[in-house]
Structure 1
Amino acid sequence: MTQADAGTGLTFRILGPLEVWSDGARLAVGGIRQERVLGMLLLAANQVVPLPRLVEAAWEDDPPPTASHQVRKMVADLRRRLGTGSELISTDGPGYRIDVDVEQLDLRLFEVRLTRAREADGAGLPHNTVIQLQAALDLWRGKALSGMDSAAIMSAAAVLEERKLAATEHLMDLRLAMGEARELVSELRALIGEHPLREALRGHLMLALYRSGRQADALHLFDETRRLLADELGIDPGTELVKLHERILRNCADLDVPAQAPPVVAVDAPPVVRPNSLPYDVPDFTGRGEEVDRLLAGATEAGLSLFVIDGMPGVGKTALAVHVAHRAAEKYPDGQVFIDLHGFTPGREPLEPSEALEVMLRAMGVPGEQLPDDLEGRAARWRVQVAGRRLVVVLDNAAEFAQIRPLLPGAPGCMVLVTSRARLAGLDGATPLSVDVLSQAESLALFTRVLGRELAPGEEDAAADLIEVCGRLPLALRIAAARCQNRPQWTVNYLLERLRAEDRQLGELVIGDRSVASAISLSYRFLGPDHRRLFRLLGLHTGTDFDLYAAAALADLPVEKVEAQLEDLLDAHLLTQRVLDRYTFHDLVRRYAQITVQAEESDAERRQAVHRLLDYYLHTAHRAAELLQPGRTQIELGLTHPPAATPAVGDFTASLTWFDAERANLIAAVRRANRLGMDQHACHLPRDLSFYLLWRGHIHDEMAMLHTAVEAARRLGDHDAERRSLLNLSLPYWHVGQLRKAVDYASQSHVLAQRIGDLSGEGAALNRMGSYFGELGQFTEAMRCYERALEIHRSCGDRRDEASALIGLSYVLATIGRNYEAIATAQRGVAIERELGSRIVELTGLLNEALGHAGLGDLRTALALLDRTMVMAKDIGAPGRRAIILAHYAEFHRRQGDLDSAEDCGRQALELLWALRRPAIGAMVENILGAVHRDRGEHVQARKRHQQAFDLAHEIDARLEIAKALEGLALATGSLDRPDEAVRHARSAAEHYEAMGIPAPDALNTIIDIVRLK
């Protein structure tokens, strides 16, 4: 690729210094780190480069904390700089991918040239091999990505340099065999100057010197090499070089230039035939615009345009290939060849390459008597027959790449479209295209086109649901629409109801000899026995997607073996992978697996498999929950099938990440256990899941899980588990503002703990009751609960619960104005939590300490503590805690007089609360924003904010915020010259403060006095 070659479109050059060209002009891509990111993407062109790999390339061993964010900004800037080529860089799962054609990247063209050289070598065409190797090496302008000192890039560049040297040595070898000796001496000396320790190059130069009549120089070169290797590496020359030296000494005849092969005698060429064996292009072909454009745009005259189209059964691979072949026919006027390789055809073995070549050669007009008998001969004849012609070749339904390789044309100018249910690896220079299901819009268009009529009024929603039931799979949509078309009395709604019956869903998707189940069955039957068993058992999985550890538990196999089988199922498109290291089914494939496991596995094996899976989830969730809540009470799980291997959940962050990935599966596991009467799992798994669900704000899921746990514990007669579940159940009710229910469940737990003599459990219940009474504004009752709880925790040695009680008590103390005590109490609780390693409770303690300092007027210290808590909340992903922290930021900034910052923090808190039902926090934020408006003199807006706060707080009986809302309403209405309303609110607020044991603010008495004087 020369600079002139870079004159059209967007091209990249990395076989030398990085260069980017667009329409003849060189583009700047930014600073050195941005160049490294682009270079790393280009080194792995058309493949996903994980974000950590890009960070490593940009910064090596010392990336800043914001490195990932900076890489994302670099990619965004690269897209902007590339202009119309910006769509080349796409976000894909865990990283980024740059998609470039052969003509756009010199590295890809280098690889294609090497492939062509290997093919020519295999066909016994040394002159062609030399041409291709020389063309490949001419692309190099120096060391790959020279000037980039990143270790990751230098390592990859070193691999490329080795490939370049190997190609160079092969080229020298061929040119020597063709009689070039004198011409090569200077070239070889230059190469040895660059690579002095490369023995193969020195051997080539020795042979070139000898064949040039310079035997002495050849022998001298060997002596020089021996000394160099001894001095530099302390070794002797290798065996090959020593043997060559000995043969040069003896003037062996076999060192002379080999005799040239006799010229090939030409045979009469058969008449030119322009074949067209393509199937018809379906008239209702729908969608796939992006895929069609990509395939057509990728066709080039410069080389072989080779595309491998793979996808799940029924996704429309053949239809796409045939459609593209018809569209490309004008560009390839010498013919179109289609052959079904029967890679996945029931009752047939895959077509052998030799048989396929016979069919293809006959289609090209080669008489039967001129067909070679062997595969190599037929492959060579095929390449000769196609040379110089522009053909479209569709190799449909391929089983593996070995079946395809002999069928590929050897010369440039042809387009080859390969389709397969399996991902085919090993085809150098091929452009892969994995075909997914249709989009919603494409699915609707296909369905209505096959249906042959417009949807009737009221059918639109049913059609949308039907499309999702069919999983947007083209085969399923075609069959469903055709069935509806063939039965005029059927409506779309009626068909939808039939398809929604899971037990007969696949049975409905049949018409004539076409069936979704049969299509999936073909792929399933081509699997080996072990793969089929794993596929079946995966149909028992409780959720949507899964990792290899869950699969290993289901199958009772080592993870290494299961991982290999999962990857094979992925390549066979019986599984899909939308997230790295996680697998899932298409809905219809999952249904096939569920039917198959019912048919082919016994009841006992199915139940054992589910039991193994639930044991795996319970074991791993228990470990992860212990890292989220260090020091919590240990219980005996009583697992029947402890898992042999589990994922690495070694710290707080890893545990949260695991729960994030498995949330839906764990919830489904609890429901499955409850349905099957596996009460041990239904009781204990919600406990391990509940704190995570609360922390992430999935409150209603948590409620449902814990109600299940209470019922399961009662069936088991496990009073201790019932006590724990009742106590845990009180928390989500507290968070959604149902404080009386929260008190009720905590009280039930407290009574049950007293009944069974569980002093530690009694203290834990009192802790929770203290929190709830505090929220209700019953501070005297809250203090009583916390003080009794502290006595119990200290007597039992429950350090974690002691810390929790201290931190809860510190909030009450700060709220009623005992700020010095609040600070000291919070600090004692935080110190214990740091010993135990619980970051969550430590965060709450620091927040309460900040409230104490703010109560003393030390807002600087309070804000510094808030800064620490916000960092912790962001690290551990706690949106509810972040909202509380932002609310306190707003209040502290307001008290400092920074009203803009106060309003900004308050609005941020409300944005977080939009997705969380936390009315108590919402009321607090509305009151603070109301005070901000009052401070600005915006009394109408203030009145509105305080009224919203009152409504939220009144709904949940949060008395402190009710009092603050009434106080704000009194101040706002007083400023709006509504004296009667102001006095009414002021008196009501004062009564609420008095009932809570908190002195009423002076402003309330001032309002009452002013109005009285008037």
Structure 2
Amino acid sequence: MNDGSASDLRFALLGPVRVWDGENPLNAGSPQQRAMLAVLLLRRGRTATAPELIDAMWGEEPPSQATATLRTYASRLRKVLGASALVTEAGGYALRVAPGALDLARAEMLAAEAEKRRAAGDPRRSRELLAEALGLWDGEALAGTPGPYMEGQRSRLTEWRLALLESRLELDLELGGHTEAVSELTALSAEYPLRERLRSLLMLALYRGGRQAEALGLYADTRRLLADELGVDPGPELAELHQRILRADPALAAQEAPAAEAPEGGGPAWVRPAQLPATVADFTGRAAFVAELGQQLSTAGGRVMAVSALAGIGGVGKTTLAVHVAHEASEHFPDGQLYVDLQGSSPRPAEPEVVLASFLRALGTPDSAVPDSLEDRAALFRSALAGRRVLTVLDNARDAAQIRPLLPGAAGCAVLVTSRVRMVDLAGAHLVDLDVMSPEEALDLFTRIVGEERVDSEREAALDVVGACGFLPLAIRIAASRLATRRTWTVSFLARKLADGKRRLDELRVGDLAVAATFELGYGQLEPHQARAFRLLSLPDGPDISLPAAAAVLDMDPDDAEDLLESLVDASLLESAAPGRYRYHDLVRLYARSRAESDDPPGTAPAALARLLDFCLATAARAYELERPGDRAPHHLTAVSRPGLPLDCRDSALDWLFAEAPGLLAAARQAAAPENRAMLRPAADLLLMAQDLMESGIHARAYEDVTRAVVEAAHAAGDRLVEGRARSLLGQALGMSGQFDGADAEARYAMTLGTAVTDPVTCSYAPNLRGIIALYRSRYQEAADYFDRALSAFRDDGNEPGEAAALSNLSRALLSLGQKDRAVAAAEAGVAIYQRQGVTLRLGNGLYALGIALAEAGRLEEAVDRQSEALAIFRANRQRLWEGMTFYRLAHSQLAAGRPRQAAAHAEQALKLLRDIGGDWRRGTVQVILGRALRAVGQHDRARACWTEALELLERTSAPEIGEVRRLLESTASVRNPPTSGPTCASSGRS
């Protein structure tokens, strides 16, 4: 019985009918008693008479003692709820409920507020409110309550929930979340095939995701379904969308929603960025360009975003002009200005996903809310800027591909791009070709820096100087700066020095080396220990460096190193990208390296890089051990001279590995240079310890490239142990991206090398990889033989996690040989080893293999459970490739279990995750299973579009599934109405 206040009671109708006193659940009684409670709750405090309650609960055939039964139910409910909650009045009953105590009332309030927010131009907050309202549902409304009134209310609430869901999905598309929405819309359109609004939203989401053929196929499916089921054509909205897709209406891809000024409900508050660098005080000339660009920016409030791209050679003044124009136009962009140097002229341009993370943080997005993938970050960035007026300066871009993900996409925003290349492939951009200065502008700039008095007295000599500089602004600035700081020099003296064509470049250092002169004064003022740090820290190739890694390079205590690094920041010779992280401007790095080459004794640079590599290897090995307890690979590494970070848990190890990934891979690549080949062994070992990056998706391609460089260097050096390990890792990387022929060649070569030097690492890794490739190529007995060989090698080395991996892989081969019981047993043995060792990430691989074996053995519910466990592990460990492949396997299992809606949703999730990783073969096999699931729910034309794309992808790799896909396409050519339900066999694709 409730002894407290009625205000402590909480009620739920959006699911089973339930009641709580505070946090304590109360017994609401039998189904009929819960039905009475539900009727009273739906009356919202109004009295329900006995005849009304009887009619609601029993309809036209009430029991003979209905009135007495009501009294009994009322008495029991009063004991549970308290006398103050359930009252008797006017021959009936009423329930007094505190405001906000009923989930339905809260959902209605949230939905109403969402509608207001959307009308007010705040779609993000509206979407949050709708999601909160939908989150109150816990299954079917009024579940388990009998009676005709309950049935009617259940239908009403179901319809309302669908309407809310459609509104939320519409907002998802407005806010750029079309890729994420496809999976949910696919499942819903299969569950509610006659709801045209869902079909319309799915068509739009597919089209915006670049899947036009599927969108058109879905329309054909819908038209046929409506004709067959209802004898009608699609409605005007769907028909119009179809026509717009056919003509590729640009407006379909340009719908962006406005944003609220200050999100409520715990969302990140808007932060107004002001990132523009200071404009130069002596800016001069370029009047026509300033006017032209200013006009473009001042009209950025139109229907489309304004994009201007400045192109020209290095040193022509692109950045100076862009920053000056941006400052001039800042009043037109009250919501702020973003700026980034994309380092396009460097060997390692800035990655768009890294830039987007920085922009999102600058806009107030917390680190925890920044998505992992490039696509998700770009979508969130577009959503954050929707409805705002923000100017973004993208400086020093490499090409259009680098900047496309960084474009806001919203009317009212504008982007200024600078690059050494002319971006003719940047659609809609206003292109500006920036040439050298005119003689008059060049002389004006020179005079502003040097001073009128000195120039006026030697005007002809000044014209000679700017002419020798080729009227290039950067060269003019360097020459003028040198003259301005040397009061004893005359303009004529400088002109004579520049007159000698053989020495002119030495005097001006035009191009990338031209800035060296501007850093000489600052460098000359450094203390010896500062100068040493300045030189040594420029040697690593990574985009930036952490404080612990910098301490290793300098061979110093981290606290002392921090003081030294901060002094260089104060001298403007080093930048602090974030607390504890440091970087050089690209040109400063070049200068620092030139000083290292000239000022440091021979062997200094290799020793510094070796210390960094040792630090990276030691820390990576610690991270590897935390993730793979019991794995013997760390016992076979080269000895290191420096300790790594004392990582103490898996999460911190994973965070370190992914945060330092660019620097780790850069360190391994540098070791492959001819002058650093003494470091090849630790470089290969670092790649071995950091192999999780291979499967992460975002770093997979860089890992492959670096590993290939190490392979080539080891081959040239004749180091068979390093070459064997590196080839084994390269083979894995190639296999991950679907390049199976290359993977097999590397694994075969690695086996030969590993055997020659008796390396336990290569002797176990390489046959395991060869077995995987044989499995992909349908050579099942060969695969089993290789897995047996790998199993023996792992056991000989005492490597239990490796043994578990080989058992999991052997399970796959046994399945293909028809030995299902042995396959399940092998997979279970592998999982048991992982569990005994406390392994986490690789347990996901074991569960993945076990799920496949269970599915093939017909134990589908167990298979789904194991695959779901694997999915959670891969997500937690940021393994996008395996997360995507697990969704693919779940789609197989759900389809085989006769649940095509769930199968289609899982396949869509797989497609989203594998879009940029995994190679053509994996994407093709996902399209196959997606097509099967869509056919099973009646979307035949869309299924055909999937199989057409699958065939194109699989033909690139000569995959064995090609014949299957052709048969599927042939089957759709003549069959217009195949079965729409029932179990469907999974395809034979393996991964």
Give the TM-score of the pair, scaled to structure 1.
0.48
Give the TM-score of the pair, scaled to structure 2.
0.49
Greater Rg by CA: 1
